Homo-oligomer: A and B are copies of this chain.
């Protein structure tokens, strides 16, 4: 199958047992996050989030995905843009000048007071019932304003809202972003924007940036890859500057960018700009003119991959890189006499899975030497169970993913689950319910094994998707998985209970300008007017 991944998102930070109990305050929300240890094996941190909500409407709006714990009162208040401010707490490690939070304050002010920021502040009056200022005080325990979110980022936060003030406490600036998002969802207002990932608290953008049909990534080391391998060398590429903008845009929203350079299969487009990289296929004893996967038998392949991975390390700050390794067809390798000779020399017999494993092991070692952690698709594990222990395995095959989870975690590997969340597979009706019913830890294994399931990924592969239909296909369908990954499973397994909350969240996405499709017959106060 030809595959082009347009957007996918990984959520870490889940499956956490709530360890603190809510206080007696009116609206209490508790959010938990992963441990700071490298193994992610224990939920060691959980933070109490108290919210006494202050909004200008009849009803408190829900927060999606549902926080681990949430208490709410019927009290309401109104916010005035003239008397509203974000501020840094006195004890905060981050203060004015913190790039991430300064920008977030600006962004969320617009989200909360769209009419004001549109320059028509007199059109709507938000009057606090007893006129008084409202201050959101943000305190961050550690700094790191100029860094990037990573797998160890503590995204927990503690938000407590009462009349006249809200106090948001978090360990990191990324946790503060999550708390600001929740605060904004508690305040009912119009808005526009375009960051639906952050709105649902997705925290990793897995960028499947090249595939068989096209190589749009403009490499500084190998410019011919996109010059000759992209759909068009100018109009259909990602320049270095495009990539930097994506990474910075994501960073400001606490989203990691993990690129995927998938090999040795799915590389047809690579061959156009890098002669000699792909395996020449043979027919009747002579080269047929067509090419197969990357040629794993020659030194130049590994030199090329090393240079490319060095560039990837330079361009993408995240410590993870996805190396692919899926769906390698062996027919072309089998047809090529040089490959067969190499197989013999290496003692692989006729087992081409050994050849693929040999190749993948080489580039995983290269990646480790560059101080980066590899993610690979499940095929690599299925072929060759002994792979470097810190490699993260990703499950994409739909059938029997529970058994695969058992096997992988039994072998001590960390795992990402994507198989049940291939939402590019559309169907008629409310298919978000299928996503919502997934229980990633419901497989046979020990508690230790279950902790190795470090997250899940919603995938929107691009065979039938581009800018014309991406947004309505992603949202709100992807939100179902976000709740499965962020929220307390016991409180969120009933899709019928989730339905009205998700409908409301979808209306909130529309208000923020996201072209999110309807779940069923019905309407929103603010409809999409992009037609």
Whole-angstrom distance from the CB of A232 to the nearest CB of chain B?
A: 7
Bound CA–CA A232/B473 (angstroms): 27
Q: Tell me if A469 and B472 are in contact (CB < 8 A).
A: yes
**A471 at the A/B interface (Cβ < 8 Å)?**
yes
- Interface of chain A, helix or strand or loop or mixed? loop
Closest to A232 in B: B523
**Chain B: which residue is nearest A464 at the CB level?**
B518
CA distance A530 to B428 in the complex (A): 25
Total interface residues on A, CB under 8 Å, equals 43
- Taking A426-B426, A426-B427, A427-B427 as contacts, is the C-beta distance between A467 and B520 under 8 angstroms? no
**Pairwise interchain contact A428-B426, C-beta atoms closer than 8 A:** yes
Contact partners of A466 in chain B: CB under 8 A: 517-518, 527-528
Which residues of the partner chain B approach A517 to less than 8 Å between Cβ atoms?
464-466, 468-469
Copies of this chain assembled into the complex? 2
Q: Hey, what's the 0/1 contact readout for A509-531 against B, CB within 8 Å counting as 1?
A: 01000011111111101011111
Cβ of A2 under 8 Å from chain B: yes
Given A517-B464, A528-B466, are A523 and B236 also a contact pair (CB < 8 Å)?
yes
Complex contacts, A220 vs chain B, CB 8 Å = none
Inter-chain CA distance A471–B523, complex, in Å, is 18
Hey, what's the 0/1 contact readout for A335-363 against B, CB within 8 Å counting as 1?
00000000000000000000000000000
Say whether, besides A427-B427, A523-B236, A468 and B462 are in contact (CB < 8 Å): no
**Residues of A51-94 contacting chain B, CB below 8 A:** none
Determine which residue in A424, A429, A472 has the highest number of CB atoms from chain B within 10 A of its CB, and name it: A472
Is the CB of A141 closer than 8 A to any CB of chain B?
no
Asked if residues A213 and B522 are in contact (CB atoms below 8 Å), the reply is yes
Cβ B469 vs Cβ A469 within 8 A: yes
CB nearest neighbor in B for A506? B468
Contact digits for A228-241, partner B, Cβ 8 Å, 1 yes 0 no: 00011001100000
In contact, B531 and A471 (Cβ under 8 angstroms): yes
Contact B467–A523 (Cβ < 8 Å) = no
Would you call A521 and B467 a contact (CB within 8 A)? no
| Contact string against B for A residues 461-492, beta-carbon threshold 8 Å, 1 for contact and 0 otherwise | 01111111111110000000000000000000
Task: For the complex formed, measure the closest distance between the CB of A54 and the CB atoms of chain B, giving whole angstroms.
Answer: 27
Q: Most chain-B CB neighbours within 10 Å: which of A427, A466, A521?
A: A521
A4 interface residue per 8 A CB criterion: yes
Give chain A's interface residues, CB within 8 Å of chain B.
Answer: 2, 4, 213-214, 231-232, 235-236, 424-430, 462-473, 510, 515-523, 525, 527-531
Contacts A428-B464, A468-B517, A469-B515 aside, 4 further interface pairs with beta carbons under 8 A come to: A463-B521, A465-B518, A467-B527, A469-B518
What are 27 of the A-B contact pairs (CB < 8 Å)? A213-B521, A214-B523, A232-B525, A236-B523, A236-B527, A424-B428, A426-B427, A427-B427, A428-B464, A462-B521, A463-B520, A464-B519, A465-B518, A467-B527, A467-B528, A467-B529, A467-B530, A467-B531, A468-B471, A468-B516, A468-B530, A469-B469, A469-B472, A469-B515, A469-B517, A469-B518, A530-B530
